Chain A
Amino acid sequence: MHAAAALAATLGRVVRHPGGAFGAGLVLLILLTAILAPGIAPHDPNRLDVVSAFAPPSGGHWLGTDQLGRDLLSRHIFGTRIAMAVALSVIAIALAAGMLLGVLSAYTSGPVERAILVAFDSISSFPSVILAMAAVAVLGSSMPMLIVVIATSLIPHYGRVARAQVLSARNEPYVEAEQVLGASGVRILLAHIVPNIIAPLIVIASLDIPVVIAIEASLSFLGLGLRPPLTSWGGLLQDGYQNLARSALPVMVSSGVLAVATLAFTMFGEALRHAIDPRSGRRA
């Protein structure tokens, strides 16, 4: 099938882009880690072993243990699960809602269009983290809550791009040709406009994944995000930070994991952007 061939070709270009193979490989590794967490974690992430608190890396605990003697490697492996669950749900919600509102704003005029645009502007006038902090402070925090709040803060990204894409696609000759052929507005939108505007949105989505990871980690670090027993990378960082005087290792592990994950998704996203739009990358 042609679509599969196109996908393979795109992935090929991603892998050939400098850093693309590295990013894609790490992303794959992170996703596998998240999916297989219970199978690959050497220990129960929540098993206390106070006697061996702050143990240095060893054969039993490859990355050492935290203040309660919990295995840091296992905790970070389970943290990957949380990070991915949050990031992917946030992106899915923001992408879907953003597209819906963006398309709606392009197709309506008057109060509906203005309301949507004002909402986009209001949301994006706050930094995501601040917006999320305010919402969590008022509404309390839980994982679904956190996901919805972060997704809301990202909706304008997708909404604005979707709107601009629809506005320009709507005047394309092929859209007029479909009108002359008698295609309904819904058919034109779903069969002709959406497939032609989805690529830039996918790219933004891939570049937003590290942003979401960072926001969620920041909130959890500040104690406004996920609470134990959920092991968020931000929460792990907070644990380590509180015990920094006794051991620097937990902080180093948590920051390292966060850095590697955001870097991997950023590199993958960049490579994907170049692969989908070859014009963006004509640098010597």
Chain B
Amino acid sequence: MTASPGIRLGALSVTFGRAIRALDRVTLEVGEGETVGIVGESGSGKSTLCRTLVGLTRPTAGEVEVLGEPVTVALRRDPRGYRRRIQMLMQDAVATLSPRMTIGRLLAEAVAIHGLDRDETEERIRSFLGRLRLPPSILGRYPHEISGGQARRIGVIRALLLRPRVLVADEPTAGLDVSVQGELLNLLMEFQRELDLTFMIVSHNLHVIKRVTRRTLVMYLGQIVEDAPTRDLFARPAHPYATALISTNPLLAAEDGGGAIILRGEIPSNAALPPGCRFHTRCPVARPVCAETMPELEPTAAGGQVRCHFPGTLARPGTGAA
């Protein structure tokens, strides 16, 4: 981690319409070159966070800074320059490729938009194709003629052609075969190291997060509920929600033989947030105070942060750990 932050969020809130609070005063600092994972259910605000970083969603309140400059200022001052600093891999890879352009033309757009050197870019595209094991003939294909895995890799090329310093990946492995997932993750990790990218990866898939990141954020209803080094989080989650999330993953849970904690009910609506701690309606260890006061993010002994009045109190059945 270096001193200058790659990403800094200051009490960032995003509200849709009047009542839908997708993000609620999220404060976060990600060092330049750091790799951070975000996990959480649908509706926890993961995607909104990514979209805010690349300027697709406007913050309702609070600050978003990328590489030391507020996003709104950077987008006004030099929009294309900002695009060159931060790129995003979006969820539905095939749908993000404009359907009536060939892959070659879609890649060449970077040249046209950003005035990149044509010959050099062609050379780089060729080398990317080689490294990502895509046949050169793919350049003549249309998006509907290529597979989901290929579309992902094209998305990676399109993003990296701009030589960004920050890369945000929203569910980069969704809908891919496990073997293809692994290959893609390896490549992303390679590129992260080579280019010293500040890399933020969002996933439902805890294995992906565990494999790729050194630090993980757990989100619930628009808030960060736990922020911890990935290894610690998976070994000793402090927040009851994180504990439950990890316990329900058969492969991760099998490592220490603990049983699953099944949460009751659905994630509450962003439009009608519970008072007090957001999680108390489903928390197995909630006490009366949890329904009244919202806990703040507090530092933990392990060097992370947790938003819970009683961190570490939820024990997994069968492990005996507290």
> A interface vs B, CB < 8 Å?
2, 172-174, 176-184, 187, 191-192, 195-196
With both chains docked as a complex, state the minimum distance between the C-beta of A29 and any C-beta of chain B, in angstroms.
32
With both chains docked as a complex, state the minimum distance between the C-beta of A199 and any C-beta of chain B, in angstroms.
10
Given A2-B102, A196-B100, A180 and B83 contact (CB-CB distance below 8 Å): yes
B96 pairs with A176, CB closer than 8 A:
yes
Which residues of B have CB within 8 Å of A191? 98, 101, 109
Given A173-B90, A178-B98, A187 and B113 contact (CB-CB distance below 8 Å): yes
Give Cα A173 to B80, complex, Å.
Answer: 19
B113 pairs with A172, CB closer than 8 A:
no
Mark B151-187 against chain A: 1 for CB-CB distance below 8 A, else 0.
0000100100010000000000000000000000000
B83 pairs with A181, CB closer than 8 A:
yes
Give Cα A173 to B113, complex, Å.
Answer: 19
B142 pairs with A2, CB closer than 8 A:
yes
Give Cα A64 to B222, complex, Å.
Answer: 82
B83 pairs with A182, CB closer than 8 A:
yes
Given A2-B142, A187-B113, A180 and B90 contact (CB-CB distance below 8 Å): yes
Give Cα A187 to B109, complex, Å.
Answer: 10
Which residues of B have CB within 8 Å of A177? 90, 96-98, 155, 158
Which residues of A have CB within 8 Å of B100? 192, 195-196
Contact of B109 among A173, A179, A181 (CB under 8 A): A181
Given A174-B97, A187-B113, A180 and B102 contact (CB-CB distance below 8 Å): no
Contact of B56 among A172, A176, A183, A192 (CB under 8 A): A176
A-B CB contact pairs (8 Å), 6 listed: A174-B97, A177-B97, A180-B83, A180-B87, A181-B113, A191-B101
B113 pairs with A180, CB closer than 8 A:
no
Asked if B79 is an interface residue, CB under 8 A from chain A, the answer is yes
A173 pairs with B95, CB closer than 8 A:
yes
With both chains docked as a complex, state the minimum distance between the C-beta of B271 and any C-beta of chain A, in angstroms.
21
Given A2-B102, A176-B90, A177-B90, A182 and B96 contact (CB-CB distance below 8 Å): no
B142 pairs with A173, CB closer than 8 A:
no
Give Cα A195 to B15, complex, Å.
Answer: 34
Asked if B88 is an interface residue, CB under 8 A from chain A, the answer is yes
Asked if B232 is an interface residue, CB under 8 A from chain A, the answer is no
Give Cα A180 to B90, complex, Å.
Answer: 10
> B interface vs A, CB < 8 Å?
54-56, 79-80, 83-84, 87-88, 90-92, 95-102, 109-110, 113-114, 142, 155, 158, 162
Given A174-B98, A179-B56, 6 more pairs with CB closer than 8 A: A172-B95, A173-B95, A178-B98, A191-B101, A195-B100, A196-B99
With both chains docked as a complex, state the minimum distance between the C-beta of A62 and any C-beta of chain B, in angstroms.
48
A182 pairs with B113, CB closer than 8 A:
yes
Which residues of A have CB within 8 Å of B162? 181-182
With both chains docked as a complex, state the minimum distance between the C-beta of B213 and any C-beta of chain A, in angstroms.
22
Which residues of A have CB within 8 Å of B84? 182
Contact of B88 among A172, A174, A180, A184 (CB under 8 A): A180
B95 pairs with A174, CB closer than 8 A:
yes
Which residues of A have CB within 8 Å of B142? 2
The residue among B87, B96, B102 with the most chain A CB atoms within 10 A of its own CB is B96
Contact of A180 among B54, B95, B114 (CB under 8 A): B54
Among residues of B, the one whose C-beta sits closest to the C-beta of A184 is: B113
A183 pairs with B90, CB closer than 8 A:
no
Which residues of B have CB within 8 Å of A174? 95-99
Give Cα A225 to B88, complex, Å.
Answer: 59
With both chains docked as a complex, state the minimum distance between the C-beta of A278 and any C-beta of chain B, in angstroms.
14
Give Cα A211 to B238, complex, Å.
Answer: 71
Among residues of A, the one whose C-beta sits closest to the C-beta of B51 is: A176
Among residues of A, the one whose C-beta sits closest to the C-beta of B91 is: A173
Give Cα A192 to B142, complex, Å.
Answer: 14
B96 pairs with A173, CB closer than 8 A:
yes
Among residues of A, the one whose C-beta sits closest to the C-beta of B82 is: A182
A180 pairs with B56, CB closer than 8 A:
yes
Which residues of A have CB within 8 Å of B102? 2
Give Cα A176 to B113, complex, Å.
Answer: 15
B114 pairs with A182, CB closer than 8 A:
yes
Among residues of A, the one whose C-beta sits closest to the C-beta of B158 is: A181
Among residues of A, the one whose C-beta sits closest to the C-beta of B88 is: A180
With both chains docked as a complex, state the minimum distance between the C-beta of B11 and any C-beta of chain A, in angstroms.
25
B98 pairs with A192, CB closer than 8 A:
yes
7 shortest A-B CB distances, which residue pairs? A182-B83, A177-B96, A173-B95, A174-B98, A182-B80, A195-B100, A173-B96
Give Cα A176 to B110, complex, Å.
Answer: 15
Give Cα A180 to B85, complex, Å.
Answer: 11
